[in-house]
Amino acid sequence: MHKNLFVYTHTLIKYLMVSKTKKYLVLRIYSSSEIYDAMRELHMKYDNSISVVHVPSLEKEWTIDLDEKLIKIRGEETITPGILSKTVKAFEICLKTFEFDILVRSNMSTVIDMAELSSQLANIDGPIYGGHEWFLRWFSPHYNITKAFRDREWGLRFISGTSIVLSRDMCEYIVNHQSELDINMVDDTSIGSLLKAVDCNKFKSEFRENEMNIVKGACFYRFKDNPERMKTFYEQMRKNT
């Protein structure tokens, strides 16, 4: 870990993580459950990220509560098209609300080593679409990845929804071209399909599942359904800063 890399202020910018060269905003997809509620409390305590959730009965189209670090968007919680639609709407809101250079779109079950991530991105300029990458070679009815889509997009490079790293201009591109997104597809694959022909830096980061040790070079650690292990890992990261 890199000591004293981030500076936190007490204005609107406190929701950004500011390195020596770039401002980072972490946006987490959220839907309320006992496990995810516990994980959100940990993220609020340790990493300053903003969560985004669908609320069917919301009077306004969207609201943002900076004290609660929460964006609420009117809509239904679904895998498709819900996660994609609230992701794109949240991008639109964040572009209007925050001055950031890099946005990291993650989820509730993932811890991000921001010091390691910012170190790896420090000397990368221009458009960025990166993170933990996959290459599509399967189909999944659960995520609406049909055999037809798999065959059409065979080998598609896309970034896992745990770790989508985007420069500000790439967020703008997604918002401005959202009509071209396949809303029937799960969010990370749909975004990958949209951006496949865009000239950008294809940054690649390391990812670990249920890893309790800080691994050199790894930026993303997932603790699916296990907030206690997540808390222990967060505490370990804190001791190393």
Of the listed ranges 2-6, 50-54, 144-148, the least confidently predicted one is 2-6
Average confidence score pLDDT of the chain: 90
Which fold would CATH assign to domain 12-133+161-239?
Answer: Spore Coat Polysaccharide Biosynthesis Protein SpsA; Chain A (3.90.550)
pLDDT tens per residue, range 55-106? 999 999 999 998 899 999 999 999 899 999 999 999 999 999 999 999 999 9
User: Cβ-count burial of 217 within 10 angstroms (0-12 exposed, 13-18 middle, 19+ buried)?
Assistant: exposed
Average pLDDT of 119-143? 92
Q: What percent of the chain has pLDDT over 90?
A: 78
Q: In this predicted structure, what is the pLDDT of residue 145?
A: 84
Q: Confidence class of residue 197 from pLDDT cuts 50, 70 and 90?
A: very high
Q: What percent of the chain has pLDDT over 70?
A: 92
Beta strand 23-29 with 17-18: parallel, antiparallel or unpaired? antiparallel
- Give the domain ranges of the chain: 12-133+161-239
Nearest to 162 by CA among 83, 100, 89: 83
Q: In this predicted structure, what is the pLDDT of residue 15?
A: 63
pTM over 0.85: yes
Q: Confidence class of residue 12 from pLDDT cuts 50, 70 and 90?
A: very low
Q: In this predicted structure, what is the pLDDT of residue 20?
A: 67
Average pLDDT of 136-159? 88
Nearest to 189 by CA among 122, 241, 138: 138
Cβ–Cβ under 8 Å, residues 54 and 156: no
Assigned token pair, 144:
């609406």
The helix/strand/coil state of 238 is helix
